[in-house]
Amino acid sequence: MPEPVYEVAALTGFAAALFRAAGLDAAKAGTVAELLVEADLMGHTTHGLALAAGYLGELASGAMTAEGEPETVADTGVVATWDGRRLPGVWLTAKAVDLCCARAKQHGIAAVAIRRSHHIACLAAFLPRATERGMVVQIFSSDPSAASVAPFGGTRAVFTPDPLAFGFPTDGDPVLIDTSASITTNGMSNRLLAEGRRFEHKWLLTADGEPTADPRVFTDDPPGTILPTGGLDHGHKGYGLALMIEALTQGLPGFGRADPPEGWGASVWVQVVDPERCAGLAAFIRQMAWTVAACRASPPRVAGEPVRLPGQAAMARRRRALVDGVRLYPGVMAALEREAERLGIMVPVGS
């Protein structure tokens, strides 16, 4: 039997109520709920409400800080560095994007480096906050307390998948790029492991360096690893990206793998550029509209499968879900129902 379909507003309100009951104020709870649901609307089901039960558990244990603001470590006006104090990473990152957009209007470019944030969920979900204001945005993230990706040519994990996202406006839907320095993610690996399934391709390595599609290698001693983007053939590309991301997210804010681990969390780099302060937004749109049109006009390799732009499918899913509702990945609502019972929150009725 398929999972029920939920109205987006009801689902967001339910998630916000759970986070309020767990100790977040209304603003933090609303932001976290909105952006987790946004990830589900876009189709990023491992990084949407599938994370909510884990976040609630972290709040209950005190591993996620419920109250207060980030500590400002440094602030030049163009670049700010925050100690996130393990506050909700989704809220911190949204706050950083908003601040960067405001400051980029003044300076042309602005950035925020965040150390000691909690997990930040789906990077793509933050991008429209900037692209809808005519801004170009990039977000990088890593978790210095975890490691599941080995450097190219190695077998011992050093990095997390190290996601990166980049968004820019066009004359239609924005382009929303959300990828990582690894060939797959921890979230997908954990999901397949829990479901007893394998990857379609050999995207993992055993501890002995043998390629495999079986996520059970993460339960071995020593554990296996995820291959960098490019795999065995061109994994030096993902390895290079990982080093770049770790420099931005850990080197610049001054906290990372050289420090004692603190648990599930994130180090983050957010940067926004205002095209108006360069050659102008109209000039930017003109150039990128041409590029977008050229991509779409490229003859498809497979008949009937035209070239798509990054974010195109996500935005189409989002529009449908806002009208028709959203169906959560199997098991997600069951986990939230258990949390709702614990916290005394009514569960929305699906159809």
DSSP state of 166: E
Distance between CA atoms of residues 189 and 187, nearest Å:
5
37 three-class SS? helix
What are the boundaries of each domain within the chain? 1-67+325-351, 69-183+227-297
DSSP string, 297-330: HSPPSSTT-----TTHHHHHHHHHHHHH-EEPPT
Averaged over successive runs of 10 residues, the pLDDT of the chain (351 residues) comes to 92 98 98 98 97 98 98 98 98 99 98 98 98 98 98 98 98 98 96 96 97 96 97 97 98 98 98 98 98 98 97 98 97 97 96 92
pLDDT, position 233: 95
């709040």: which residue's tokens?
A: 59
Distance between CA atoms of residues 116 and 123, nearest Å:
17
What is the per-residue burial (b if ≥16 Cβ within 10 Å, else e) of 106-136?
Answer: ebebbbbbbbbbbbbbbbbbbbbbbbebbbb
- For the chain, strand residue ranges (E) read 5-6, 71-75, 79-83, 109-117, 136-142, 163-168, 175-180, 204-205, 211-212, 225-226, 266-273, 326-327
SS3 string of 124-144?
Answer: HHHCHHHHCCCCEEEEEEECC
Distance between CA atoms of residues 330 and 344, nearest Å:
23
Q: Which two tokens stand for residue 167?
A: 């968004």
DSSP β-ladder status, 175-180 and 204-205:
unpaired
Distance between CA atoms of residues 222 and 228, nearest Å:
19
CATH architecture of 1-67+325-351: Orthogonal Bundle (1.10)
Q: Which two tokens stand for residue 303?
A: 């008949």
DSSP state of 86: T
HSE-up of residue 180 (Cα within 13 Å, Cβ side): 23
What Å distances lie between residue 157 and 146, 168, 300, CA to CA? Answer: 9, 33, 38
Task: Assign a CATH topology to domain 69-183+227-297.
Answer: Ribosomal Protein S8; Chain: A, domain 1 (3.30.1370)
**What is the pTM (predicted TM-score) of this model?**
0.97
pLDDT, position 1: 73
Residue type, 196: G
pLDDT, position 209: 96
324, burial (CB in 10 Å: exposed 0-12, middle 13-18, buried 19+): exposed
pLDDT, position 210: 97
DSSP state of 184: S
